[in-house]
Amino acid sequence: MGTKELIREIQRLPISKRMLVIERTLQSIRQTELKKQMDKAVDALMDDYQTDKELTAFTKIDFDNFYEAR
């Protein structure tokens, strides 16, 4: 189905269904864009995390039990 046909079909829907299509489409676009930004951030920082031990120093205690002092 081409773009024109898709738009024509959407225009035939009731307003509430058209709004739902718009909301879901925007949500999908935002999620895709966020994933792209996160992937770029991972790529940009991967080398730092692999070579700079100060960035990962606290991961050694990730599985230690911590208790709240009262």
The DSSP output letter for 62 is T
Q: Would you say the pTM of this structure is higher than 0.85?
A: no
φ, ψ dihedrals at 36, nearest 5°: -60, -45
* Greatest extent of the chain over all pairs of C-alpha atoms, in Å: 66
CA dist 11 and 4 (Å) reads 11
Residue 55: partners with Cβ closer than 8 Å, 6 or more residues away = 48, 49
- Each residue of 32-62: pLDDT tens digit? 999 999 999 999 988 888 888 887 777 777 7
- Each residue of 10-26: pLDDT tens digit? 999 999 999 999 999 99
